[in-house]
Structure 1
Amino acid sequence: MLKLNCANIPKIIIALDFNDKKNAMKLVDLLNPDVFYLKIGKEMFTMLGKKFIYELHQLGFNIFLDLKFHDIPNTVFNATKAAADMGIWMLSIHASGGKKMLISAKKALQSFKTRPLLIGVTALTSLTHTDLKDIGIQMPLQDYILILSKLSSDCGLDGVVCPGKEAEKIKLLCGNKYKIITPGIRCLNDSTFDQNQIITPKQAKKFPIDYIVVGRSITSSKNPIKKLNFIIQSMQ
């Protein structure tokens, strides 16, 4: 099990980007739950469901359930409550779902003594300015991210998923306690896959990011622990 000193750097969430449980558990078995968080997305949750969440909880891991809920307010209310019932640590919803949807998700958590962090997804890291224009949004991508971040904050969410380069502006707009979760962390020799808004681990240290999400750069590596060590050392 990998044990590392990760003090004074963004906390690390490992995205389990696998298409089978066996390979996912090979990596999980190497990780210290006191150091790393795990992110379960649509693929693994669709395949393995809440039973897999419970298994990871038994191993001591905090789980970021990244299903990016985006639906009418009542549906998101019920989905958010169902997710929180699993005892997860963090949950994502699309900030572009609008004020009523965001408030509904927040209300769904009011009855929980220990509730998950509710995080708004601003703009997917795959999006470009051209993509925004294609869906009728004429403003620059950075402005769109700031608007959705402020909306999420006003609706009582705990933070947002956003590109690292926008973290400082969002903290100034929403406060230092507002959580910033940044995906798209890539080492210099990594493929960018389908992501456009990316930063290196060294850059991540410069921004006021609370959590970085590391996925395919680790899960596609022949030596994921060596790569994790490199990422951590780059931020120290």
Structure 2
Amino acid sequence: MTQYWPFSGLTRQNALRERLIVSLDLRDRGDALKLVDRLARVVGMFKVGRALFVGGGPDFIREIRRRGAEVFLDLKFHDSPQKVLRAAVEATRLGVKMFDLHPYGSTCGSTDTMTRTRAEVARICRTEGLRRPSILAVATLSDTKSPNSSARAPESPDRVTEIARFAADASLDGVVTWPHEITQVRNTCGRRFIIVTSGVRLRETVNASANAPTAADAIRAGADYVVIGSPIWRAAEPLRAVREITDDIERGLRNSPRRTFEILNPRPV
């Protein structure tokens, strides 16, 4: 169920931190776990990509979960439909809060694999008493190009919106996309559709490029979560960097055209 914080002038720090996902794009598993230990109480989630997962495997996810932290498993499942279903089920059993997959069949208007994945995850959660994770489709243009795609699809500015619409039709929870694509996805898919974005910068470093968005810009445009990595774990004081980002997220929420303060939870199974 979606919960609402009805006073637009008030914010809760716990709710702000839920909006921040820290990317663990570190080479060393030990360093990554040290960062989790340091930040688990002040950020909402940690993103684990291919490199760390290959190096640490499911046990690495379990280590993060044992520390009380949430995980966004960013493996972009991309295989035969049956293998995607199996991978989705195992991710669910690991207890991740989110995982993502490629939008199969979207070039020809089919949502079959996405629909089957969502249904199978829901079934496993019911039969095994598990929490249902949010399932996201990868809607960034650079990540959805395919040798079998039409010449039009990868270059079309409407491609991201098309993928998001297919994901919504398949009852997926949301998409991963770039900041400049947020507004069109939000306008197409509505307020309950989850949008996760990366590529944002700390406010103090954004002056180097007028086009580089901040976390506030992304939230104001309609994002629900922002993913930030190296600006945090390379900072001399990671906790201070996190505080600066959550302050920026608060600025974005205060200036958002959405007048209620939404705390997105996964939709009921």
Alignment TM class, shorter chain as reference: 0.7 to 0.9
Alpha-carbon shift at residue 6 of structure 1 (Å): 5.2
Alpha-carbon shift at residue 200 of structure 1 (Å): 1.4
The change in CA–CA distance for 1:15 and 1:85 in structure 2 (over 3 A counts) is same
Determine whether 1:101 maps to 2:113.
yes
Distance of 1:19 and 1:122 partners within structure 2? 26
Alpha-carbon shift at residue 136 of structure 1 (Å): 4.9
Q: Deviations over 1:202-230 (max 9, x none)?
A: 31231211111111222233332222222
Distance of 1:76 and 1:175 partners within structure 2? 27
Q: Which structure exhibits the higher relative contact order, with contacts defined as CA atoms closer than 8 Å and separated by 6 or more residues?
A: 2
Q: Deviations over 1:87-106 (max 9, x none)?
A: 11111001255422212221
SS in 2 for 1:24: helix
Check conservation: 1:76, 1:104, Cα contact below 8 A: no
Matched residue, 1:179 = 194
Matched residue, 2:135 = 118
Q: State percent identity of aligned pairs.
A: 28
The runs of 5 or more residues in structure 1 that have no matched partner are: none
Q: Deviations over 1:59-112 (max 9, x none)?
A: 111111110001121111111111111111111001255422212221220221
Match for 2:92: what amino acid? A
- The equivalent position to 1:203 in structure 2, one of 217, 221, 225, is 217
Determine whether 1:212 maps to 2:226.
yes
Alpha-carbon shift at residue 158 of structure 1 (Å): 0.3
Matched residue, 2:266 = none
Match for 1:122: what amino acid? A
Q: Deviations over 1:28-54 (max 9, x none)?
A: 121134642111111111000111111
The runs of 5 or more residues in structure 2 that have no matched partner are: 1-11, 251-269
Check conservation: 2:182, 2:218, Cα contact below 8 A: no
Output the aligned Cα RMSD.
Answer: 2.8
SS in 2 for 1:189: helix
Please identify runs of 4+ aligned residues in structure 1 that moved more than 6 A. none
Determine whether 1:81 maps to 2:86.
no
Matched residue, 2:46 = 38
Distance of 1:168 and 1:9 partners within structure 2? 22
The change in CA–CA distance for 1:36 and 1:223 in structure 2 (over 3 A counts) is same
Query: TM-score, length-normalised on structure 2?
Result: 0.74
Distance of 1:179 and 1:74 partners within structure 2? 25
Matched residue, 2:243 = 229
Query: TM-score, length-normalised on structure 1?
Result: 0.83
